[in-house]
Structure 1
Amino acid sequence: MKHLFKANLNWNSKQKHELSKKFYSKTHQIKVEGKSILDVSAAKAFKGDPSLYNPEDLLLSSLVSCHMMSYLYVCSQNGIEVLEYLDNAEAILEVNPDGSGRFVEVKLFPKVKISNPDQIELALKLHQKANQLCFIANSCNFPVLHNASCEVF
């Protein structure tokens, strides 16, 4: 089964954040039908507006969110009641001398609280299964690592 996703990008050279004739503004809008407009720029390191989301933020956010949803799915399949899920993820981006670059690693640090102390070991193991199911992680060409913790609430 295939699913189609669409996004519309809107940018023009007359935007108010024009830096100079030498540099183009990186600020633009992305619209997905039926959803709020997302204002996006480059990361501050790449002369973007640091107050806006950038593609790197969005990629990392997609991985964190997708992993959590996959994890909640496998926990429900295994009868684990998850009460809380927190993550403080990190991504490493390498930039080459020619200006190209890529993510080389993402680390997720999920902290999960569950209701049953007898399920802690299984709850930790299920992060591997969640990673196998995660659509976004499966689309990446870099490792997505997990340093998970679990406690009873």
Structure 2
Amino acid sequence: MNGEHHYHLRSTWTGDRGSGTSGYRDYDRAVTLEVDGKPAIAASADKPFRGDPAKWNPEELLLAALSECHLLSYLHACVTTGVVVTAYEDDASGTMQEDGNSGGAFTEVVLRPRVRVADESMVEAARAAHKQAREWCFIANSVNFPVRHEPEITVG
């Protein structure tokens, strides 16, 4: 499955309160994210940046992309090594540092997957599959900060 893949998204600012961006506090940070054929996502800036905390923000979406990409890559790695995964849940966290010049960057993301496998004999291979998943994850390979993994493997 080699090749170039293209993705398209429409971001629409919906936060004009009647005077556009006439002042920093005069507009809402509301955005609608849309991909054809899928439900729209109501998004905003994070609360410290005058956003709506009830809506998804770019930082959460980046964290979600990393977590989901690892999950999907991990499941594939497990299939190729004969590991039967019966449950997977991740409590991911990320750290972003402001630079003092109105910018900043993520400095680290930690994924904490809790994986349940079908048999005790699969535990070590299940643990090793996280390394393969990291190598396969398109999103993790696209960021310039560390994405660490702290997996927990159980049998059940």
Work out whether the TM-score is over 0.5. Answer: yes
Equivalent position of 1:121 in the other structure: 124
Equivalent position of 2:12 in the other structure: 10
For the 8 Å contact 2:97–2:105, the answer to whether it is kept is yes
Give the length in aligned residue pairs: 152
Query: For 1:91, what is the secondary structure of its paired residue?
Result: strand
Per-residue CA deviations over 1:49-80 (Å, capped at 9, x if unaligned) read: 00000000000000000000000000000111
Equivalent position of 2:41 in the other structure: 38
How do 1:24-35 and structure 2 match up within 5 A? 24-35=27-38
2 CA distance for matches of 1:45 and 1:9?
21
For the 8 Å contact 1:19–1:25, the answer to whether it is kept is no
Equivalent position of 1:141 in the other structure: 144
CA distance change for structure 1 residues 65 and 72 in 2, over 3 Å: closer, same or farther?
same
2 CA distance for matches of 1:43 and 1:22?
15
Give the aligned residue type for 2:152: S
Equivalent position of 1:106 in the other structure: 109
Equivalent position of 2:100 in the other structure: 97
Gaps of 5+ in 1: none
Give the aligned residue type for 2:12: N
For the 8 Å contact 1:80–1:114, the answer to whether it is kept is yes
1 CA distance for matches of 2:118 and 2:15?
54
Equivalent position of 2:66 in the other structure: 63
Aligned CA-pair RMSD: 1.7
Structure 1 residue 126, shift from structure 2 partner: 0.9
Gaps of 5+ in 2: none
2:47 is aligned with 1:47: no
Give the aligned residue type for 1:32: V
For the 8 Å contact 1:43–1:50, the answer to whether it is kept is yes
2 CA distance for matches of 1:94 and 1:13?
26
Structure 1 residue 37, shift from structure 2 partner: 1.1
2 CA distance for matches of 1:108 and 1:33?
30
For the 8 Å contact 2:15–2:30, the answer to whether it is kept is no
